[in-house]
């Protein structure tokens, strides 16, 4: 039976009728529609609309609807997931099933289902992010004191510990977790009882309904509650940042896996070959992560554009906000699964990294810093070491290979301690501030990262 046929003297255009349906995609909301319907049924009983028997029958049937498989073949008569549950309920329990829609509207239902869906997805994505970041932490632990070049402008800049580099990614993913938790806090309110726009027509106990669905409280304004999609926008924006981080990570690993860099050995499990060139091992997993990230950003944009022109309150345009949310969640979920598998298997070529960290004048700043400690003003020290680098370029050598005489010609009094300051271990040690790459600082950072992650692991919804 149609949900709204009474007022109409004729049925809708067949093409339009099919075109406006959302059941082909909102069927993923079934568990949430069932949970919300159960909470509503209980409130109806409390308000005297359902007697004890009717409530028991309704709850029993709703449980069954939640358990049973959705129809394999799409039923074109079903408009949306709300219609499906009502129709199925009436099939199971008969006339009493028609009572469930008393005092509620699909406008509040979809707002509720979508919040419940996003809340679950946030918990799932947080779990995956924690696992993914955990792989970086494991690698940072085993990387020990191995070093590698850090780049600015993609030119060799200063050496860092490999662990320091890996922990940079952990910071990004921890922020992603924070962002998602924050979004979860704001979305965790219950629209049920908002009715179509002005609030339900029955004295429903909104606080108890909210509690039953693990919401922190009922929403404060029925017009806002039935038309707000901020939570969906925030969620997909937060996912976009996750995708962005994954894309940057993928890009860097692609680069580092090239023969030119040779820092990263691609795991065969996550690479493919070429049908033409027998020697090829291609970083497809990383490339697809980089490529798919764009689709997540597109979903965020679709949501923004979909909502920006809507006057209060519910408008059918809002139906179009569902698919970008589902698509972004599924996309990021699968990207994280692949990324985690990749990280667990990827190998680092420490020799190559260490070798690259030991050349390319990456000790120049440390050399200047040494002169500063001798009382030379930094600008002057910079100039002097710059001259020494120029000489090295001419002679095809590194700073530590210049002779005392060479340095004297550059105006530098280079003693044993000066040369000691140029060694890789000293250059690393000089960055001895919180957040710097000195071994002790990296050990501290590793510990902090582990603590942050253990705070989140297993307690994805500690933030309610
Ligand atoms: N399927 C609809 C949606 O997703 C449910 C709400 C319909 N409300 C209405 N007033 N037609 O938005």
pLDDT tens, residue by residue, 110-119: 999 999 999 9
| Nearest residue by C-alpha to atom 2 in ligand 1 | 319
CA–CA separation, 355 and 459 (whole Å): 42
Task: Please choose from 107, 108, 324 the residue to mutate so as to test ligand 1's pocket, defined by most ligand atoms within 8 A of CB.
Answer: 107
| 197-226 pLDDT, tens digit each | 999 999 999 999 999 999 999 999 999 999
Q: What is the CA radius of gyration of the chain?
A: 30
Instruction: Please compute the mean of the pLDDT values over residues 258-267 and round it to a whole number.
Output: 97
Q: Does ligand 1 have an atom closer than 6 angstroms to the CB of 318? A: yes
Task: Please choose from 319, 321, 324 the residue to mutate so as to test ligand 1's pocket, defined by most ligand atoms within 8 A of CB.
Answer: 319
For residue 11, name the pLDDT band (cuts at 50, 70, 90).
confident
Q: Does ligand 1 have an atom closer than 6 angstroms to the CB of 54? A: no
The strand pairing partners of 159, in sequence order, are 149
Instruction: Please compute the mean of the pLDDT values over residues 278-290 and round it to a whole number.
Output: 95
Number of the ligand 1 atom closest to the C-alpha atom of 316:
12
Q: How far is the CA of 3 from the centre of ligand 1 (A)?
A: 11
Instruction: Please compute the mean of the pLDDT values over residues 373-384 and round it to a whole number.
Output: 96
Predicted local distance difference test score (pLDDT) of residue 457: 83
The strand pairing partners of 152, in sequence order, are 155
Instruction: Please compute the mean of the pLDDT values over residues 394-417 and round it to a whole number.
Output: 96
Residue 382 catalytic? no
Q: How far is the CA of 26 from the centre of ligand 1 (A)?
A: 11
Q: Does ligand 1 have an atom closer than 6 angstroms to the CB of 80? A: yes
**If you search the block for the tokens 């990324």, which residue do you land on?**
339
User: pTM of the prediction?
Assistant: 0.96
- Tokens of residue 208, six digits: 């108890």
Task: Please choose from 106, 306, 322 the residue to mutate so as to test ligand 1's pocket, defined by most ligand atoms within 8 A of CB.
Answer: 106
Quick check: 213 and 112 in contact, CB under 8 A? yes
CA–CA separation, 369 and 426 (whole Å): 11
Q: How far is the CA of 191 from the centre of ligand 1 (A)?
A: 14
Q: Does ligand 1 have an atom closer than 6 angstroms to the CB of 106? A: yes
Q: Does ligand 1 have an atom closer than 6 angstroms to the CB of 313? A: no
Q: Does ligand 1 have an atom closer than 6 angstroms to the CB of 296? A: no
User: Percent of the chain beyond pLDDT 70?
Assistant: 98
Task: Please choose from 87, 110, 317 the residue to mutate so as to test ligand 1's pocket, defined by most ligand atoms within 8 A of CB.
Answer: 110
Q: Which of 50-54, 149-153, 366-370, 460-464 has the lowest mean pLDDT?
A: 460-464
Q: Does ligand 1 have an atom closer than 6 angstroms to the CB of 22? A: yes
Number of the ligand 1 atom closest to the C-alpha atom of 4:
11
Instruction: Please compute the mean of the pLDDT values over residues 283-301 and round it to a whole number.
Output: 98
Predicted local distance difference test score (pLDDT) of residue 274: 87
The strand pairing partners of 65, in sequence order, are none
| 46-81 pLDDT, tens digit each | 999 999 999 999 999 999 999 999 988 889 999 999
Q: Does ligand 1 have an atom closer than 6 angstroms to the CB of 110? A: yes
For residue 5, name the pLDDT band (cuts at 50, 70, 90).
confident
| 127-143 pLDDT, tens digit each | 999 999 999 999 999 99
CA-to-CA dists, residue 243 to 92, 229, 230, 239, angstroms: 44, 21, 19, 6
| 299-355 pLDDT, tens digit each | 999 999 999 999 999 999 999 999 999 999 999 999 999 999 999 999 999 999 999
| Nearest residue by C-alpha to atom 5 in ligand 1 | 106
**Residue tagged active-site, from 190, 245, 257, 274:** 274
Query: Which DSSP category does 230 fall into?
Result: H
Are β-strands 189-190 and 217-218 bridged in parallel, bridged antiparallel, or unpaired? parallel
**Residue tagged active-site, from 22, 83, 105, 153:** 153
Q: How far is the CA of 232 from the centre of ligand 1 (A)?
A: 16
Q: Does ligand 1 have an atom closer than 6 angstroms to the CB of 232? A: no
Q: How far is the CA of 169 from the centre of ligand 1 (A)?
A: 41
Q: pLDDT higher for 276 or 393?
A: 393
For residue 2, name the pLDDT band (cuts at 50, 70, 90).
confident
The strand pairing partners of 161, in sequence order, are 147
Q: How far is the CA of 105 from the centre of ligand 1 (A)?
A: 9
CA-to-CA dists, residue 59 to 40, 55, 113, angstroms: 10, 6, 18
Residue 153 catalytic? yes
For residue 458, name the pLDDT band (cuts at 50, 70, 90).
low
Mean pLDDT across the chain: 96
Q: How far is the CA of 109 from the centre of ligand 1 (A)?
A: 9
Q: Does ligand 1 have an atom closer than 6 angstroms to the CB of 319? A: yes
Q: How far is the CA of 197 from the centre of ligand 1 (A)?
A: 12
Predicted local distance difference test score (pLDDT) of residue 459: 55
Q: pLDDT higher for 460 or 363?
A: 363
């Amino acid at each position: 039976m149609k949900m709204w046929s009474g007022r109409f003297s004729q049925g809708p255009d067949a093409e339009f009728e099919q075109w406006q349906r959302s059941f082909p995609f909102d069927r993923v909301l079934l568990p949430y529609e069932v949970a919300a319907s159960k909470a509503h049924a209980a409130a109806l009983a409390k308000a005297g609309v359902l007697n004890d028997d009717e409530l028991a029958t309704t709850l029993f049937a709703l449980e069954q609807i939640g358990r049973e498989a959705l129809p394999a073949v799409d039923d074109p008569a079903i408009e949306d997931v709300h219609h499906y549950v009502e129709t199925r309920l009436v099939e199971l329990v008969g006339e009493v099933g028609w009572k469930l829609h008393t005092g509620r509207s699909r406008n509040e239902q979809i707002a509720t289902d979508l919040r419940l869906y996003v809340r679950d997805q946030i918990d799932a994505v947080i779990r995956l992010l924690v696992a993914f970041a955990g792989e970086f932490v494991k690698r940072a632990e085993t990387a020990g004191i191995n070093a590698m070049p850090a780049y600015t402008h993609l030119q060799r800049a200063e050496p860092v510990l490999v662990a320091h580099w890996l922990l940079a990614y952990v910071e990004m993913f921890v922020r992603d977790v924070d962002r998602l938790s924050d979004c979860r806090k704001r979305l965790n309110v219950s629209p049920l009882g908002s009715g179509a726009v002005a609030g339900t027509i029955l004295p429903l106990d909104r606080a108890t309904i909210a509690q039953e669905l693990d919401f922190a409280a009922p929403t404060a304004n029925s017009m806002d509650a039935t038309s707000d999609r901020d939570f969906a926008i925030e969620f997909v924006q937060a996912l976009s940042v996750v995708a962005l981080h994954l894309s940057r990570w993928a890009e860097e690993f692609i680069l580092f896996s090239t023969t030119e860099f040779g820092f990263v050995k691609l795991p065969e499990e996550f690479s493919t070959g070429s049908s033409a060139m027998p020697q090829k091992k291609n970083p497809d997993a990383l490339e697809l992560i980089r490529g798919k990230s764009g689709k997540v950003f597109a979903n965020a944009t679709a949501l923004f554009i979909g909502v920006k022109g809507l006057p209060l309150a519910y408008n059918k345009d809002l139906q179009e906000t569902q698919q970008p949310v589902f698509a972004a969640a599924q996309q990021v979920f699968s990207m994280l699964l692949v990324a985690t598998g990749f990280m667990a298997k990827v190998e680092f070529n420490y020799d190559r990294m260490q070798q690259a960290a030991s050349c390319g004048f990456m000790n120049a700043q440390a050399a200047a810093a040494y002169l500063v400690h001798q009382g030379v003003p930094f600008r002057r020290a910079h100039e002097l070491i710059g001259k020494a680098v120029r000489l090295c370029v001419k002679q095809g050598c590194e700073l530590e290979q210049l002779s005392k005489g060479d340095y004297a010609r550059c105006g530098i009094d280079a003693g044993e301690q000066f040369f000691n300051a140029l060694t890789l271990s000293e250059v690393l040690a000089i960055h001895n501030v919180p957040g710097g790459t000195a071994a002790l600082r990296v050990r501290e950072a590793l510990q902090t990262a582990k603590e942050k992650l253990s705070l989140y692991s297993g307690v994805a919804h500690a933030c309610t």
